[in-house]
Amino acid sequence: MDSLTQIVLGAAVGEAVLGKKVGNKAMLYGAIAGTIPDLDTIVGKFLDPLTAIEIHRGISHSIVFSIVMAPILGWLVAQLHKKAQAGWKDWSWLFFWGLVTHPLLDAHTTWGTQLFWPLDLRLAYQNIFVIDPLYTLPFLVFLILAMRLPKASKKRRKWNNLGLIVSSAYMVLTLVLKGISYQKFTEALANEKIEYTQIDTRPAAFNTILWYANIDVGDAYLLGDYSFFDSKPIRFKYVPKDRQLLGEYRDSETIKRLNKISNGWYAVEKRDSDLYYNDLRFGVYDLDAKDLRFVFSYQLIPDGETLEIEEAKRDPEAMKQVLKSLWDRIWGN
């Protein structure tokens, strides 16, 4: 999830583990621990685009990473605060939970995490968007209320625990909403007598009221959306896979790597003379738009016998209209 959310979660976890002994230092180092796994994005800036995508939320988001890094970071902080009531084991425990809760939270997003690295398994429950104010803001309020109180205060622990409980309860609610939306999509498909092989659902940006679905119907996908405020039936938009456009590059190493990243949810598109690989897992900017534009789209650039990729550029001005359309769509059709 976004950096602010991970900082808040890390700080709250740090407080729960060690706040009674070291006060706000527990929040500070918990927040630091909560941001460390996402440093893989900095590493990615020194790599080619495809490798950068592959390593994101990889080893740094694993249990192994948390186990290895926690005692190292714990020892460093113990040296800085030798007079504190906490020792090396205490600080190591704080860092372990601060590090490991980061990928546990990210596992609920569309991108997911390789929590069990080096096993080739990516967890992605797809029940919350990477930025969700209803998860983060109440959590932040409870954390600030706790931060202002003395470390020995019972109210401090109460506010912090409430933040953890409320945020966790909201996460459970998103799983329930995902289940309900999934049922709505399958009922709509049954009503239209549409046969399909797979269905993939996820929430729209910044909320869990509006949900999207990708449906595999063979040589094409159907894309649909459903808001809990809808009064009209779900409509689906047809998107051909068009994988034959890849031609001789269909079995190339680049395409195989992209297929692994997208879990096979992709369509190929030709714009003018350029080929684009569209990752369907993150949907389109506006499903009602005449010309669909996918959130994650990569231009395929032939380079001799190999393919290079370049992420399609986003138009900041167009994003303003996208946000307006999203807001309007949330409130029903």
| pLDDT tens, residue by residue, 100-110 | 999 999 999 99
**140-166: average pLDDT:** 97
- Phi first, then psi: give them for residue 193, nearest 5 degrees: 55, 45
CA distance 54 to 323: 28
d(CA 38, CA 228): 33
C-alpha Rg value of the chain to the nearest Å: 22
Written as six digits, the tokens of 84 are 């504190």
Work out the average pLDDT over 310-321: 81
**Residue 320, pLDDT score:** 82
Amino acid found at 308: E
Walk across the sheet containing 210-216 and list its strands: 198-203, 210-216, 220-227, 236-240
Q: In degrees to the nearest 10, what's the CA dihedral of 149, 153, 157, 160?
A: -10
Structure tokens at 54: 């592959």
The Cα angle at residue 285 between residues 325 and 299, in degrees rounded to 5:
160
Task: Provide the whole-model pTM.
Answer: 0.94
* Residue 4, φ and ψ in degrees, nearest 5: -60, -45
Give the mean pLDDT of the chain.
Answer: 95
Give 273-307 pLDDT, tens digit per residue. 899 999 999 999 888 888 888 999 999 999 887 89
Tens digit of each residue's pLDDT (9 = 90 or more) over 236-246: 999 999 999 99
Greatest pairwise CA separation for the chain in angstroms: 70
Written as six digits, the tokens of 122 are: 């990516």
8 Å CB contact between 10 and 26: no
How far is it, in rounded angstroms, from Cα 25 to Cα 158?
18
Contact predicate 91/77, CB 8 Å: yes
pLDDT at 266: 97
DSSP helix/strand/coil, 300:
strand
| Main-chain phi, psi angles of 315, to 5 degrees | -95, 110
Instruction: Give tens-digit pLDDT for 174-219.
Output: 999 999 999 999 999 999 999 999 999 999 999 999 999 999 999 9
Whether 319 has a pLDDT exceeding 90, the answer reads: no
> What are the structural domain ranges in the chain?
3-174, 192-333
The residues, ordered by sequence, that sit 6+ positions from 64 with a Cβ below 8 Å of its Cβ are 117, 118
Rounded to whole angstroms, the Cα distance separating 298 from 285 reads 15
What is the identity of the amino acid at 55? I
Average pLDDT rounded to a whole number, residues 103-120: 95
